[in-house]
Every structure is written in C-alpha cells, then in structure tokens.
Structure 1
Amino acid sequence: MNDTSAIPVRKIIHVDMDAFYASVEQRDHPELRGKPLAVGGSSARGVVAAASYEARAFGVHSAMPSVTAKRKCPDLIFVPPRFDVYRAVSQQIREIFAEYTPLIEPLSLDEAYLDVTQNLKGMDIATEIALEIRAKIKQVTGLNASAGISYNKFLAKMASDLNKPNGQAVITPKNGPAFVEALPVNKFHGVGPATAERMRSYGIETGLDLKSKSLAFLQEHFGKSGPYFYGIARGIDERQVRPNRIRKSIGAEDTFVEDIDDLELATAELLPLAEKVWRYCETGGISGKTVTVKIKYADFTQATRSRTSPLPVANVSDVLEAASALLATVYPFRRPVRLLGITLSSLTNEEADEAEPQSQLNLDI
C-alpha cells in the first residue's frame, strides 16, 4: 500500500438518490412539493427516517428525534413511511443499473456502487455512464440521483456528496491523494463521530494528519480498521465492488461522551439504537430472531449477551424489550459503560421461507 500505481485503475460509480424517501412522497403527493417534509413518526418517541431538502435547510436530518425536528422546524410535515413503495422504486433503479454492469453492490434502497470498468454498453468514459444512468432514473422514476465517479469505492462515495442534489463529480487518480489530504476526518465515509473524536485526541484532524501516522500506530489505536485508514489516507482503497454480498446481521452502537454507571440511564440509551436497527429492518423488508447487546466498559473490556426467540421480532418494541432485559443481566456494571450496541441476527426476509439460509441478509450500519 505505498502508492496508487500498484492498483489497477478501475472505474467505480457511486449512485445516491437525493432525499429518497422524502422525494418519493413529494413525487406522489404534489401538495407536499417545496415544503419541509419528514418521513417518520411524529410521536414523542418518533424518529426521522428521511428529510426533504426543504427540511434539511432547518437542520432536520435522518435519525433525529421527531420532537427535535419539530422544534427546529415548526412547520415540518410528517408522513408515515411506505417501505413497499420505496422497495418497488429501488427495484426500478436496480434494473437500470443492470443495463450497464452486473457488478452492482447495493448499500441500501437508495444507493449502490457500480464497477463499470468493463461495462455492457462498451462505453469508455465513466462520467458519461453516470450521466446516462441519472437521466434514465429521472425518466423512469421522476426522481433525482447524484453520482460520484472515481478509481475506488471510498473516493466514489466521497465524490457523490460533492455536487448534491442532482449532480455528479469525479475524483481522478491524479487528484485523489490531494483530495483526501485536505478532507476533515469527520467527513470520511466509515469514520463516525466517536472514531473522529478519538482521532482528534491523537491530533488527527485531516487526511494529511492521518497520512502522517504509521500503519503500526493506526493498528494499535484503531484495531482492524487501522489498515483501512492507512490506505484511504493515501487515496487507496482495494475493496472490490461485490454483488450478492451475503450478510448476517444488522447492528448499531454508540460511544458516550461520559461513561454511564446507572442502569436506567444506560437503558435509555438503547432506544435510539433499537430504532436505528429496526429502521433498517423495515427498509429491507427483513427481521431477525437473535438480539445481542454489546457492552464496552471504561477500561475497554467488553461483554455481550444474546437472546434468540422462536419467531422473528415484530417491531422496535420487541428489539428494545429484549435488549433492555439483556442489559439488566450485567448490572451492577463491573465498570462504568462507555459504549452500548445492539445487533439483530438470524435474519429472515419477509418474502422468503424463514427456514432457508439463503433468506439471510445483512445491512451493516
């Protein structure tokens, strides 16, 4: 992993639909167009699943508690999600992708990587392929998509955000390393708030700071993610576009600003994790039978507790109830808790036979 010349130049496109759920609702309900819109529940315990660009202007974003969103935008309109419709539109989009390449790696209903190095249209220029795909998506679905084009997955993902909404950008092999050097680490795909905070504690604010750290340092402080961070700091990402990924779990976790030593406070922190996990279940039309809680203590030791039920969990309350019961089994905590996580596994697709292994699907978060 010394330089980009060691890696065959590939042509990767990352396609990302613009405010997908909200845009579908505005497409199907003309009276909602141009208005601040949130897809999700408006109750005190509701969470925003998606926000229109009009709502984003007020600071509303996905995964935000609905009460907070309403406070930021008093005129916010809430609509319940229609995941069956979103899945149908997503399938239309996948069919368009398949006209260009079989190498499609969906990340969710509204985004995917495409490897168009060798493509079914025989087109040489990836930016032209991206333009065609976006135009076809608009023609078929009436929705806008943005795209990023680059020589690897990481930079294609970063590029797709540069000219949103309804735009595209390219990051070339020549420009990739310099682009990463100037990028704040909290903007890196794959670096969440907790990891960014840890990086800052080591003086890592930008890609250039990250590049200055040795592989040994990054492995010591960031474990198995160390080699990935070492590579992307140099504009290198050797991951292939993988169609037909077989995944087995959905998970969400959070590292707290201050360690928690109280069961009631810790249990309260499980709610947003359960909601995040269940939102992905609804998006993918899946559920699972095994709930696992991960507890990481202040001294970085950790424990996990799992429970498997005969039938898949039916709603977010089931996930939360199981996780809360599992957390209670390790109380009193042997140390204050710095991180909690919930994972749902033994996944089943609602449209498949639950007994068949191939019905398993994973949406890592």
Structure 2
Amino acid sequence: MRTVPSIIHLDMDAFFASVEQAAKPSLRGKPVIVGGLGGRGVVSTCSYEARVFGVRSAMATAVARRLCPNGAYLWPRFTAYRACSEQVMAMLRALSPLVEQLSVDEAYVDLAAGPYGPALAAAAPGEGAELVRAICQDLRADIEERTALTASIGAAGSKLMAKIASEQAKPDGLVLVNPGLERTVLGPMAVRALPGVGPATEQVLRRAGLMTVAEVAELSEEELMRLLGKAHGAGVSLMARGLDDRPVVPDRDAKSVSVEDTYEVDLADRDRILHELDILAARCVRRLQATGRSGRTVVIKVRRFDFSTLTRSETLRGPTDDEGVIAATARRLAAQVNLTGGIRLLGVGVSQLADFTQEDLFAQAAAEAALAELDAQEAAEEEEPDAEQEPLPESGAAAGSVAAEPAGVEGGAPAAGAGQLAAQRIWLPGQDVTHRELGPGWVQGSGVGRVTVRFETPDSPPGRVRTFLVDDPELTPSDPLPLRPPPDA
C-alpha cells in the first residue's frame, strides 16, 4: 500500500457542455444540452444549469425538452472536444508516463512514476500529501488557463479511492484521501458508491439489510460470495474495505472497433437495411484503419421495432481491414436475422484485433460468392417492380439517423464532414460557420428554408443574431475556433 496519495483521477466537468459554453459566450451560465436532437435522440452531456431542471446524461432528449424547454440543445462537435481532450491529456503526460485514459475527458495518473516521484518517495506522509495537493492545484489552474474549462480531481493511494474522491470533488474541486483513511471515507456511503454495484446488486444487498459500505465491509468475503456469486462477491468485499492494488496502465488496448446508428423511422425495406450496413461497414473500416489495426471477427447488432436486440458474428480465417470483405460478411450475417417488422438500430463491429493485415483471398472469395448467391436467390423470389424505385440516400445522416460515437457517447452528430454539409446545406444547432462579411459564428437553428446564426467567438461578448436562406453562398461550415489563443499568439 502507498503512503502518499500519488494516484489521481481527473474528470472534466460536464465536458461537452462546458466546451460549448466556453466557445459560445451567449450560453455561459445557461442550461446547455448536448446530444441527439431527433425523436429518438439521447442526451450525451448537459451543463450543471440544466441538471437543476432534472436533465441527466443518457436521458431521452424528448424528456429533457419537457423538463428544460428553454435550454440550448446542440449537436455534438467532436472535433472541438477531441482538440480540448488532447490538450488536457498532454498536460497529464507531462506529469507522468503512466496515464490511463478512460475516455475523452477522464484519466488516471500515477504521479509516483513521473518527475515528482523521487520527491514523493522521500517526503514524509503529511508532506507528500501536501505536495500532491499542490501538483493538482497547479494542474487544475493550467487546464483552466489553457482551455477555459474546469476539472475535478481526486487523489488517493489507489484507483478506487481516487475515482470516489473525484466524484466528491465535483464540480471544479479537489479531494485527497490519505492512505489509511479509506474505510473512514467509504463507511457512511451508500453501497451504490462502489464501482460495479448497480441496481441489481444494490437490491440483493438491501434485502440482506446492507445499506452502507461499512455494513458490507463487516461481512466476511465468504458471506458476500454466497450473496453475489464468487467473483463479484470477492470484488465487492475488497472494495468495501478500500483495498485496490490495480496499477495505472497506460494506452489501454482496444478489444474491438464498432459503429452503430439509431434511426428516427424504423427501417422496413430490406434493400435499405443492407445499404445502411454497407455505410456502417465503411465507417467501421475507417476507424479500424485509423488505428492501424485489422480484425478477424465481424459482428452485427440489430435492434428490432420491439426493442429486442440480436447480435450475429463470424470469424474469418485471417485479420482484415478490407471494406468489401467486412461489408459482405455483415450482409451475410444479416441474412441470419429476421428483419421484418422494422429495425430501429444497426451496428457493425470488428473484434479479435491484430496489428497486421493478412490478405485472406479465400475468405474474400467465399464472402463474395455467398453474397452473389444470396442476391441471386432474392432476385429470383422478387416480383417485377411496378415502378422505378427512388435512389437510396447517400448516408445514414441524410436518412434521419443519429450516428453513435465510441468511448460511451450516445446520440452523436451525423458523420458528414464540413464539405458534405455544405453541399447538402444541412445546418445543425451548434455547428461552426463563417459568413464572408460577418465572420465566424454558430448555428442556433434552421427550418422552413432559413438558418439562424449567432456571430460570436470564444473571446468576444455575446454576439448578434442574423437569419439567412439555407443556401446563402456567403455562409459556409467552418472548423472550431480554439477556446484560448495559442501561447505564442
């Protein structure tokens, strides 16, 4: 066990919403909700002002609108969020080589492995804690200075306690738990405070009369294993006593890559469903190739109109990042699923990842042959159409889908880039734009052939609002502006 609280857990405060408020002066101090805005959209993140009204992450956007009708509802701008995340993570890596990034806005850091390690090792317990406090205070100040955002930090002798401390620190705070005080801090907490204790486990513990962590800690490991099962019971027993020896592991290796879309209108046409699978396969391959990986197992996910969810998978003879092979395999897997009645969600993923690509001609030929056979069978069964069908849309976004992002962001923005949005003249609430004369701004809303734009920048006063035709050639999509000017500006 450590004698100094040298493991820290950093969590950015209401990250997506905070980036939007920092970028848009007119939204500061006001309720901001970021997520999918369609009929089946889901809240990704909301500001603390919105939480006062009861809005929460993972809530249906339709419910959020009823609770907070005057909030600002924005599509996610992932380019802006990633840019801020990279700045923050670079600051953490300057403190230690052991940074375990959990998501775009959350990470563990082992300070003992970095430049402050020798000083922490040589310090008396009280002095070491004060040094950690000073490091964390400086880190929070640096983050706010460079990004205009706030972060909450927990510091402790273990990852478990650092995470719990950062929850207590929210928002915009710092909490240290000195080694040896774990049970004192944990004891009064409700059992749900322990990671991995969800509603089902909580109910089991409540039926046994266990309401607080202290009461759980008094039970023997054997009794908890009888209540919760061998593995889960042993884990809860250790956590309740504040015992956690997990190391901070940098660069956690992804086990799979996947994408999925939720559709505002259930898909009923089989050709349309297969077309959407092709689009998802292409997006999945782009993500796969961006990581320099390939994979052997292709997985599809299908959620039907009645919310029943099915998955099907097939393992190829060798790892691949070939879009044709993955798309053909996804189509073949779809043939194993009943697609009648309506499909509300589709997903394509690749697992069993490898760092190389083995050109598997047999797998590719087999996939193409099976697909050709399937197409031939379907063509033979179909009757002659009465009229020429409308062409299928180019993307799920154009078809009214809500594109899902990885690392746990629901209800994300369409996959279309700035150029595609310009060509289609699709204007999304929160989107960055530039007017040839009026300069940079962001979309407040659009409809009935008009788009409303507020012209302001992160370092300007709240800006004025103007309305344009959606096809106004003077108005174009643009990249996000930095929240703070570069140091050498």
1:312 and 1:348 in contact (8 A); partners too: no
How far 1:180 moved relative to its partner?
A: 1.2
1:187 aligns with 2:193: yes
1:231 aligns with 2:238: yes
Q: Alignment partner for residue 53 of structure 1, among 39, 48, 53?
A: 48
1:9 aligns with 2:6: no
2:154 and 2:164 in contact (8 A); partners too: yes
How far 1:162 moved relative to its partner?
A: 1.4
Q: Alignment partner for residue 100 of structure 2, among 100, 105, 111?
A: 105
1:13 and 1:149 in contact (8 A); partners too: yes
Q: Which residue of 1 aligns with 2:299?
A: 291
How far 1:76 moved relative to its partner?
A: 2.0
After superposition, what is the alpha-carbon deviation per residue over 1:187-217, rounded to whole angstroms, capped at 9, x for unaligned? 2233223332333233322101211222223
Q: Distance in 2 between matches of 1:89 and 1:76?
A: 24
How far 1:355 moved relative to its partner?
A: 4.3
Q: Distance in 2 between matches of 1:25 and 1:19?
A: 10
Q: Alignment partner for residue 154 of structure 2, among 126, 148, 156?
A: 148
Q: Distance in 2 between matches of 1:198 and 1:129?
A: 41
Task: Return closer, same or farther for 1:355/1:213 CA change in 2, 3 Å cut-off.
Answer: farther
How far 1:306 moved relative to its partner?
A: 3.2
Q: Say which SS state the counterpart of residue 236 (structure 2) adopts.
A: helix
Q: Which residue of 2 aligns with 1:117?
A: 112
Q: What letter is aligned with 2:239?
A: I
Q: Which residue of 1 aligns with 2:64?
A: 69
Q: Distance in 2 between matches of 1:180 and 1:348?
A: 39
* Identity score, percent: 37
Q: Say which SS state the counterpart of residue 37 (structure 2) adopts.
A: coil
Q: What CA RMSD, in Å, does the superposition of the two structures yield over aligned residues?
A: 3.7
Q: Distance in 2 between matches of 1:102 and 1:217?
A: 40
Task: Return closer, same or farther for 1:363/1:34 CA change in 2, 3 Å cut-off.
Answer: closer
Q: What letter is aligned with 2:223?
A: F
Q: Say which SS state the counterpart of residue 98 (structure 1) adopts.
A: helix
Structure number with larger C-alpha Rg: 2
How far 1:230 moved relative to its partner?
A: 1.0
Q: Alignment partner for residue 346 of structure 1, among 346, 351, 371?
A: 351
2:321 and 2:357 in contact (8 A); partners too: no
1:134 aligns with 2:140: yes
Q: Which residue of 1 aligns with 2:365?
A: none
After superposition, what is the alpha-carbon deviation per residue over 1:64-84, rounded to whole angstroms, capped at 9, x for unaligned? 110111111111211110112
Task: Return closer, same or farther for 1:210/1:244 CA change in 2, 3 Å cut-off.
Answer: same
Q: Distance in 1 between matches of 2:332 and 2:154?
A: 40
2:97 and 2:113 in contact (8 A); partners too: no
Q: Alignment partner for residue 252 of structure 2, among 240, 245, 249?
A: 245
2:183 and 2:214 in contact (8 A); partners too: no
Q: What letter is aligned with 1:240?
A: P
Q: Distance in 2 between matches of 1:65 and 1:133?
A: 35
Q: Which residue of 1 aligns with 2:74?
A: 79
Q: Distance in 2 between matches of 1:167 and 1:157?
A: 13
Q: Which residue of 2 aligns with 1:41?
A: 36
Q: Distance in 1 between matches of 2:332 and 2:235?
A: 34
1:249 and 1:364 in contact (8 A); partners too: no
Q: What letter is aligned with 2:173?
A: G
Moved more, 211-220 or 37-46: 211-220
How far 1:292 moved relative to its partner?
A: 6.8
After superposition, what is the alpha-carbon deviation per residue over 1:129-184, rounded to whole angstroms, capped at 9, x for unaligned? 11111111111111001100111111110111213111111112232112111110
Gaps of 5+ in 2: 121-127, 259-282, 303-309, 324-330, 340-346, 359-405, 410-489
Q: Say which SS state the counterpart of residue 236 (structure 1) adopts.
A: coil
1:25 aligns with 2:4: no
How far 1:95 moved relative to its partner?
A: 0.7
Q: Alignment partner for residue 205 of structure 1, among 194, 200, 211?
A: 211
Task: Return closer, same or farther for 1:323/1:169 CA change in 2, 3 Å cut-off.
Answer: farther
Q: Say which SS state the counterpart of residue 73 (structure 2) adopts.
A: strand
Q: Distance in 2 between matches of 1:312 and 1:40?
A: 31
Q: What letter is aligned with 1:68?
A: V
Q: Say which SS state the counterpart of residue 254 (structure 2) adopts.
A: coil
Which residues of 2 match residues 296-311 of structure 1 at below 5 A?
A: 305-306=312-313
1:104 and 1:114 in contact (8 A); partners too: yes
